C-alpha cells in the first residue's frame, strides 16, 4: 500500500473494492453407488488402471467393441459387466492384458539424408521452376546439397519397443552413384499409441507444412520465434476396412499448429507451440481431475531434438548461398528452424535450391492427405484360461498391505463376483475381503465351459470355498468370523441374451443387487428389494440345474453357507434367502443386505477420517459432534429405511492421553432374516366362531 495518511493535506485515498459477497462452498461428496462391482476385462483399448465408468463412458474409455458379447474381447465377465451396466449401475472396470500382447502400436519417422550434388534449375520470377516445351524443368548446373526422404517404420516386438526414445542414426538406403557415399537415416520422432492392443493400428498422424498457397501464415510468430509452422492432425478408422475419420482436439479443432523448435511461444496467444510439449495433451486429459478423463489415440511422443537441430543447421548452411526474397531464412544460423524440413519449400511455396526430396518405394511424402498409420499392436491370447490366470494374479494384490488397491479413496469398488471362474480363481477371489473391510465377495459353484455340477458336487465345492473364506475373519480384535462373503449355488442361462453359455446364478444376484443398491446417488431404491417376493423371484435366468432341495439337504447347504433356489410356483423360482458365510444363525451378520450395509459403513468411516484428519482448531467435544454429524449426514436415508445408524464418536482415556486420536464406533441396528416358519392348522366347530 503506497498511499498513506501522513498529514491533513487535502486528498482522497482510494482503497479499491472489498468483496464481501463471496461464500465458502463446501465440497460435494463424490456420489458412488453402494453396490459397486469390480470387473477385470479384456478390452479393445484403454488404460490398465481401474476406471469408474457407466454407460457411454465405458465405450469412450475402453471402446465399444469391448462390450460386444459376440466380439473377440468378450467372456463371462463381460456378460456380468453388461448386466450391471444395463441397470445404470457404475462399475470399476480394470483392463487386463495377456502376457503375450504386443507393444503399443507405434510410428517411427526417419529422415534419410544423402549428402551429394543436386541439380539447380532455371526459375521464374515468382520462384517456381521454369518448364521447357516438354514440361520438364531446365537444369542449369549443380550444387553441393542433400537428397532427402521421409521413411516411416515401427517397432514390431516388445523387445524392439524397449528402444523407444533411444534410437540412433543408421545407414540409409540412398547411394551416391559417383562417390558411392551412403545416406544416413536420422530418427526424428516416435509416437506410440495410448493403449496396448491392435486397436492402436487404426490411428494415424498427418504432418504437413502450410504455405501462402494454402492460407495465411503466422508471420509474426515466424519473425519473432524464427520457427517454421507445421500442422498436425490425427485420424482414426473405425475398423480395418473403413475410411479414416478426423479426430478432433479437446477444443474441437481438426489440426494443431506446432513447431519443431523447443520453447516456441505464439506471440498472439502466449501459448507454447513446440510439438514435443503440446501435441499429446491437445487430444487427451488424464491428469487434471477437475475435467473428465479423455484418452487420446496416441499416448506419447518422443522428439529427437538433437537430430532436428543438426539437420536444420546443415540445411540452413547449404541453402544460405541461395537466399532471395522467397527465403524465410537469413544468413544468421539462428534462423535454421525456419527451414521447412517436412516438405522442402519456403513459406512462399518455393522449392529450396540445395535440398531435393526423392521418391523411392519406402518414401513417405508428408502432406495433409498422407495418413501415417501406427503399426505393431496386437492383442495376444484372449481365452478364458488366460483371463482366469490374470484375475488370479490381480487378487494377490488385495493381500498386500503396501499395494495401492488398499487406498479406499480411489479404489472405491465394494463387491466382486465370481462370473464363472475355475476353482483356483474362485479361491483367489476370497482375497478381495482379506484386508479391506469395505468389500464383499460373491462366489458361485459353476465354471463356464465346464459341465454342470450335481447337488453333492456343489455342496463339496461350497465347503472348499467357505474354508478359504474362513482364512479372513471379520475381526481378530473382536473375534468375529468371516461374514463378507456369499456362496451362490446353481447355474442356468440368461434370458434374452446373446450369451448362450451356462452361467453361475451369481448373475441373478448381480442384477438384483444392481437394481436395488446400484443407484449413482448412493441410495438403495425403494421397491426393488429382493429379500422376499416379488423381488426374490428369479427373473433373469432360466434352465436352472437344480430346482428341488429336500429339507435334509437344505440343512446341510445352510451349514456350509451354500445358497440355492426353489420353486416359487409352477412357472418360477426364487431365492428363499441370501445368506452370508457367517456361522451364527442368531446374528444379523448372516444377512447379505446387512453385510453390504456394513461394508459401506466402513467406506463412510474412511471418508470421515479423511475429512477430519489434521484438524486442530476444534475442541474434543466439537470434534466428536462434527464427526457424528458427518457420519449421520452420509448415512441419512440411504438404506431404504432398513436400519438405524448411530455414530458414537468419543475419546477413550488413551485417546485423551495421546492427544491425536479418537474412536468412532458406528452402530447399525438391523433386523434378523426370517427364514423358518412353523405352521399348523387348528380345527374348530363353526358354532365356536359364532360364539
Give 677-688 pLDDT, tens digit per residue: 999 999 999 999
> What pLDDT band is residue 2 in, cutting at 50, 70 and 90?
low
Q: What percent of the chain has pLDDT over 70?
A: 100
**pTM score of the predicted model:** 0.92
Question: In degrees rounded to 5, what are phi and psi of residue 662?
Answer: -150, 170
Confidence (pLDDT) at 220 = 96
Cell triple for 531: 429379500
Q: Which helix (H) or strand (E) holds 387?
A: helix 384-395
Determine how β-strand 106-121 pairs with β-strand 644-647: unpaired
Closest CA relative to residue 176, chosen from 151, 139, 147: 147
pLDDT at 650: 97
Q: Where are the beta strands (DSSP E) in 560-690?
A: 562-563, 566-567, 573-574, 644-647, 666-669
Instruction: Reply yes or no on whether the pLDDT at 437 is more than 60.
Output: yes
Whether 483 has a pLDDT exceeding 80, the answer reads: yes
For residue range 566-618, list pLDDT tens digits in order.
Answer: 999 999 999 999 999 999 999 999 999 999 999 999 999 999 999 999 999 99
Give the pLDDT confidence score for residue 293 in this predicted structure: 84
Considering only CA atoms, which of 472, 410, 394 is closest in space to residue 603? Answer: 410
Average pLDDT estimate for 163-172: 96
pLDDT tens readout for residues 4-50: 888 888 988 888 898 989 887 777 777 899 999 999 999 999 999 99
Interval 253-286: pLDDT, tens: 999 999 999 999 999 999 999 999 999 999 999 8
Task: From 207, 194, 192, 201, select the one nearest 308 (Cα to Cα).
Answer: 207
* Domain residue ranges in the chain: 38-99+381-594, 106-373
Mean pLDDT, residues 417-443: 98
Tell the residue number behind the cell numbers 536420422, with chain if given: 186
Q: In the prediction, which pLDDT does 25 show?
A: 76
Q: What digits encode the pLDDT tens for the residues 462-473? A: 999 999 999 999
Quick one: pLDDT at residue 385?
97
Q: What cell does 502 get? A: 451356462
* Gap between the Cα atoms of 61 and 53, Å rounded: 8
User: Quick one: average pLDDT of 350-359?
Assistant: 96
Answer for the pair 146, 118: CB distance below 8 angstroms, yes or no: yes
How confident is the model over 611-643, as pLDDT tens digits? Answer: 999 999 999 999 999 999 999 999 999 999 999
Give per-residue pLDDT as tens, 657-677.
999 999 999 999 999 999 999
pLDDT at site 4: 81
- Residue-level pLDDT at 655: 96
In the predicted model, what is the mean pLDDT of the chain?
95
Determine the pLDDT at residue 1. Answer: 52
Lowest mean pLDDT among 22-26, 197-201, 392-396, 653-657: 22-26
CATH classification code of 38-99+381-594: 3.40.50.11780
Amino acid at each position: 500500500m503506497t498511499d498513506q495518511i501522513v498529514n491533513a493535506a487535502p486528498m482522497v485515498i482510494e482503497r479499491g473494492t472489498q468483496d464481501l459477497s463471496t461464500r465458502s462452498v463446501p465440497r460435494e461428496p463424490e456420489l458412488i453407488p453402494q453396490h459397486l462391482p469390480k470387473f477385470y476385462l479384456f478390452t479393445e483399448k484403454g488404460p490398465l488402471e481401474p476406471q469408474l465408468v457407466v454407460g457411454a463412458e465405458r465405450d469412450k474409455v475402453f471402446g465399444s467393441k469391448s462390450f460386444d458379447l459376440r466380439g473377440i474381447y468378450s467372456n463371462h465377465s463381460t456378460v456380468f459387466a453388461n448386466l450391471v451396466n444395463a441397470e445404470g449401475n457404475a462399475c470399476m472396470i480394470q483392463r487386463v492384458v495377456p502376457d503375450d500382447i504386443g507393444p503399443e502400436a507405434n510410428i517411427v519417422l526417419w529422415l534419410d539424408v544423402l549428402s551429394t550434388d543436386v541439380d539447380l534449375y532455371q526459375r521464374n520470377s515468382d520462384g517456381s521452376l521454369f518448364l521447357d516445351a516438354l514440361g520438364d524443368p531446365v537444369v542449369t548446373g549443380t550444387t553441393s546439397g542433400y537428397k532427402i526422404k521421409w521413411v516411416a517404420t515401427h517397432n514390431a516386438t516388445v523387445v524392439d519397443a524397449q528402444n523407444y526414445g533411444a534410437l540412433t542414426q543408421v545407414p540409409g538406403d540412398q547411394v551416391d552413384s559417383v562417390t558411392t557415399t551412403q545416406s544416413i537415416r536420422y530418427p526424428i520422432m516416435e509416437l506410440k499409441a495410448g493403449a496396448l492392443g491392435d486397436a492402436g493400428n487404426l490411428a494415424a498422424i498427418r504432418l504437413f507444412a502450410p504455405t501462402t498457397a494454402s492460407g495465411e501464415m503466422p508471420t509474426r510468430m515466424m519473425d519473432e520465434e524464427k520457427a517454421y509452422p507445421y500442422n498436425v492432425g490425427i485420424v482414426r478408422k473405425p475398423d480395418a476396412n473403413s475410411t479414416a475419420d478426423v479426430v478432433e482436439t479437446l477444443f474441437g479443432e481438426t489440426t494443431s499448429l506446432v513447431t519443431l523448435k523447443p520453447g516456441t511461444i505464439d506471440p498472439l496467444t502466449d501459448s507454447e507451440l513446440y510439438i514435443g510439449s503440446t501435441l499429446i495433451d491437445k487430444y487427451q486429459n488424464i491428469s487434471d481431475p477437475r475435467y473428465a478423463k479423455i484418452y487420446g489415440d496416441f499416448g506419447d511422443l518422443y522428439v529427437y531434438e538433437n537430430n532436428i537441430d543438426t539437420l536444420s543447421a546443415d540445411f540452413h548452411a547449404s541453402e544460405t548461398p541461395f537466399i532471395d526474397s522467397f527465403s524465410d531464412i537469413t544468413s544468421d544460423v539462428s534462423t535454421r528452424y525456419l527451414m521447412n524440413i517436412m516438405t522442402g519449400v519456403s513459406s512462399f511455396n518455393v522449392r529450396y535450391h540445395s535440398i531435393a526430396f526423392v521418391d523411392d518405394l519406402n518414401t513417405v511424402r508428408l502432406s495433409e492427405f498422407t495418413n501415417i498409420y501406427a503399426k505393431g499392436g496386437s492383442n495376444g491370447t484372449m481365452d478364458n484360461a488366460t483371463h482366469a490366470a490374470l484375475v488370479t494374479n490381480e487378487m494377490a494384490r488385495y493381500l498386500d498391505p503396501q499395494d495401492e488397491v488398499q487406498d479406499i479413496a480411489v479404489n472405491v469398488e465394494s463387491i466382486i463376483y465370481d462370473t464363472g471362474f475355475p476353482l483356483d480363481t474362485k479361491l483367489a477371489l476370497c482375497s478381495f475381503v482379506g484386508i479391506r473391510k469395505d468389500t464383499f465377495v460373491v462366489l458361485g459353484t459353476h465354471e463356464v465351459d465346464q459341465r454342470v455340477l450335481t447337488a453333492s458336487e456343489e455342496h463339496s465345492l461350497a465347503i472348499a470355498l467357505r474354508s478359504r473364506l474362513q482364512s479372513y475373519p471379520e475381526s481378530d480384535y473382536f473375534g468375529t468370523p468371516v461374514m463378507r462373503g456369499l456362496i451362490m449355488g446353481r447355474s442356468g442361462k440368461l434370458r434374452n441374451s446373446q450369451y448362450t453359455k451356462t452361467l453361475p446364478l451369481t448373475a441373478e444376484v448381480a442384477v438384483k443387487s444392481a437394481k436395488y443398491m446400484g443407484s449413482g446417488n448412493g441410495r438403495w431404491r425403494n421397491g426393488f428389494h429382493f429379500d422376499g417376493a416379488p423381488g426374490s423371484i428369479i427373473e433373469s435366468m432360466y434352465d436352472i440345474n437344480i430346482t428341488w432341495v429336500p429339507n435334509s439337504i437344505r440343512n446341510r447347504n445352510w451349514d456350509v453357507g451354500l445358497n440355492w433356489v426353489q420353486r416359487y410356483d409352477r412357472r418360477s423360482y426364487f431365492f428363499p434367502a441370501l445368506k452370508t458365510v457367517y456361522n451364527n444363525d442368531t446374528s444379523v451378520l448372516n444377512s447379505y443386505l446387512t453385510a453390504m450395509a456394513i461394508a459401506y459403513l466402513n467406506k463412510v468411516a474412511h471418508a470421515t477420517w479423511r475429512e477430519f484428519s489434521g484438524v486442530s482448531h476444534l475442541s474434543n467435544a466439537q470434534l466428536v459432534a462434527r464427526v457424528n454429524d458427518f457420519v449421520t449426514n452420509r448415512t441419512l436415508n440411504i438404506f431404504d429405511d432398513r436400519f438405524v445408524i448411530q455414530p458414537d464418536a468419543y475419546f477413550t482415556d488413551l485417546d485423551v492421553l495421546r492427544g491425536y486420536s479418537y474412536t468412532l464406533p458406528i452402530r447399525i441396528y438391523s433386523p434378523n432374516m426370517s427364514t423358518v416358519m412353523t405352521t399348523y392348522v387348528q380345527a374348530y366347530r363353526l358354532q365356536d366362531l359364532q360364539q
